[in-house]
Structure 1
Amino acid sequence: MAPHPSRDDQLFSLFDDPEGQASALYEQERDAELLDRSRAEYRRVTLDSRLMASVGDRLALTVVGVGRIEGELQRMGLGWCPVSGHAQDWIVRTPCIEVVQGASDRSIPEVARSPLHKLGVTSALRRLAESRVRCVVHLVDGGQHEAVVRRVGADFVEITTPGDEAVLIAYDAISAVQSRD
């Protein structure tokens, strides 16, 4: 025959149940608060910060006016990134990136970046102008120009076409530049 619980045991069991319920309720509230904080923090994560954490990784980018570009993300600049593909190198303007596949799960915030990451697309275009390498300038509207970058202005690039025509292209019209070395 099972022993009858004592009066003290019955009294403690009455207190144990509400204490257990309170503990469970506290855990639920804490979990909900942590989830809210996590969502609030993730709202601050930018595409650039995810790309920054992906430097050195192979990615597939879908770029406006170009389509799919696959290659290793070399580094990040302010509003652009160089991607090294199989036989070609690309300079991609990050505002023109629509889809990224293969990105790191991490994020690197802006405050953790070096001054080199603050270089604008003009630095990459100037390097092309200095090297006089043939390239294809891809436009947001899907057009393209086979050219040599000649000079780089404040908000445009001057190219020379194979027919020696000088053409000025606004940065906002450029989605990517593909090296033809």
Structure 2
Amino acid sequence: MAWENDLFAFLEDLEQQADALYDAERAPELADRSRAEYQQVTLASRLAASAGLEVGLEVSGVGTLAGVLERVAEQWCLVRAADQDWVVTLAAIRSVSGASPRSVPEAAWSPLARLGRSSVLRRLAEAGERCVLHDTAGGRVDGVPRRVGADFVEVEVGEAGRTVLVAFATLAAVQSRD
């Protein structure tokens, strides 16, 4: 019957109009919710999604570092730049270029990403690796990390074996020397 087809077409049109109005009313709410959720995204989670990519980092006291982002943890990241490894404190990063538009929530990170800077510095101390510790003011300490305290690292400097303590609060990056 023709009148039934007309009625169903009319009702379908009304339903589509209602769906369009509903979507139009929800669009601002969804945009607000999206912005509110994005404020939960951390620099570390954006960097975690960028692992394996070539990035540029502006680091306080160091300047520009360009290289492949190898690993990311809560407090630090590892960048391989020109045959040198850099352990960079996230708090010292001023800007990042070349990062992925995505993020990886911290709940999805490996347990190794939970290791702090002190774990990395202890590994360098155990290996007796020579490195340069850069602070956020541009200072440098060239030597071998020997022991790691709660908030500092003890570095043996020079031939005489003089000891310098470097505070974590000012540590921007650690550069491999070997």
TM bin (shorter chain)? 0.7 to 0.9
- Residue 90 (structure 1) aligns with: 86
Which amino acid is 2:108 matched to? A
**2:161 is equivalent to residue 171 of structure 1:** no
Contact 1:63/1:97 (<8 A) preserved: yes
Contact 1:128/1:149 (<8 A) preserved: yes
Larger Rg computed on CA atoms: 1
Aligned pair partner of 1:49 in 27, 45, 52: 45
**2:104 is equivalent to residue 108 of structure 1:** yes
What's the CA shift for 1:78? 2.6
Moved over 6 A (4+): 17-21
What's the CA shift for 1:19? 8.2
Aligned pair partner of 2:126 in 125, 130, 137: 130
Contact 1:78/1:121 (<8 A) preserved: no
- Structure 2: give runs of 5+ residues left out of the alignment: 1-5
1:46-105 alpha-carbon deviations (Å, 9 max, x no partner): 101101111111111111110111111111123011111112110101111110111111
- SS class of match (1:104): coil
CA distance in 2, matches of 1:26, 1:43: 26
- Residue 118 (structure 1) aligns with: 114
CA distance in 1, matches of 2:156, 2:130: 10
Contact 1:81/1:91 (<8 A) preserved: yes
* Higher mean C-alpha displacement, 24-33 vs 42-51: 24-33
Which aligned pairs between 1:1-181 and structure 2 lie closer than 5 A? 24-163=20-159, 164-181=161-178
CA distance in 1, matches of 2:15, 2:103: 41
Q: Percent identical across equivalent pairs? A: 54
TM-score by length of structure 1 reads: 0.85
1:4-59 alpha-carbon deviations (Å, 9 max, x no partner): xxxxx9xxx9x9x9988765543321211111111111111110110111111111
